[in-house]
Amino acid sequence: MRTLRSAAPAGLGLLGLTIAAAQAPPATVKTALYEVRDGTRVDARTFAGWRTWRALACDRCHGEAQQGLVGPSLLQALKVLTPLEFQRTVSEGRQEKGMPSFGTNPRLGDNWEGLYAYLKGRAEGDIAAGPLTSLGESPAP
Ligand code: HEC
């Protein structure tokens, strides 16, 4: 009986390890929209999208991690919004509901696709919340 009792915690420990490994972010994810390594290094266009998110301060209504504040969670929204629906929403806004229009902002005009890619990566769980760095022009090792 002694052996059985001591075997149980060891088995649970192994199970815990397996679960932790399954939840670790994958090293590299490449989709049609973005490439991300280790959750925080992204392709140049997605990086520009993240910088646009910061520059336009979308976080003050949608939350630092896009989780939602006075505006809805974009982690949910980006699971369903198409690029065109996104572009229209952000450029025209929904003024009567509190979402401003960014249509005249050149930064948005130049970077909305990267911003969409960034938010899509957040919604898919491929890109981590918080600061990112750019994979830049350096070729993949
Ligand atoms: C002043 C607050 C505020 C700011 C700043 C803001 N939003 Fe919003 N946003 C809202 C609100 C409120 C809604 C919900 C509108 C509605 O009910 O239809 C919304 C809706 C949205 C939606 C549509 C969500 C859906 O489910 O269809 C998207 C996408 C979005 N915002 C993206 C952004 C982005 C990107 C930025 C930065 C460029 C931004 N928002 C800045 C308040 C804000």
With a cut of 60, say whether residue 102 has pLDDT above it. yes
pLDDT computed for residue 138 by the predictor: 53
Rg value, the chain, Cα? 20
pLDDT tens-digit map of 85-96 = 999 999 999 999
Residue with the nearest Cα to atom 43 of ligand 1?
99
pLDDT computed for residue 27 by the predictor: 87
With a cut of 50, say whether residue 140 has pLDDT above it. no
Residue 129 or residue 25, greater confidence = 129
Q: How far is the CA of 88 from the centre of ligand 1 (A)?
A: 11
Cα torsion angle, 29, 34, 37, 38, sign: negative
Residue 26 or residue 40, greater confidence = 40
Does ligand 1 come within 6 angstroms of the Cβ of 49?
no
Q: How far is the CA of 71 from the centre of ligand 1 (A)?
A: 5
pLDDT computed for residue 22 by the predictor: 58
Structure tokens at 35: 């490439």
Domain 25-134, CATH = 1.10.760.10
Which DSSP letter does residue 35 get? E
Q: How far is the CA of 96 from the centre of ligand 1 (A)?
A: 12
The mean per-residue pLDDT over the stretch 134-139 comes to: 71
pLDDT-derived band at 21 (thresholds 50, 70, 90) equals low
Residues in the chain: 141
Q: Output the average pLDDT for the chain.
A: 87
Domain limits of the chain? 25-134
Q: How far is the CA of 115 from the centre of ligand 1 (A)?
A: 13
* Percent of the chain's residues with pLDDT above 70: 78
Residue with the nearest Cα to atom 16 of ligand 1?
97
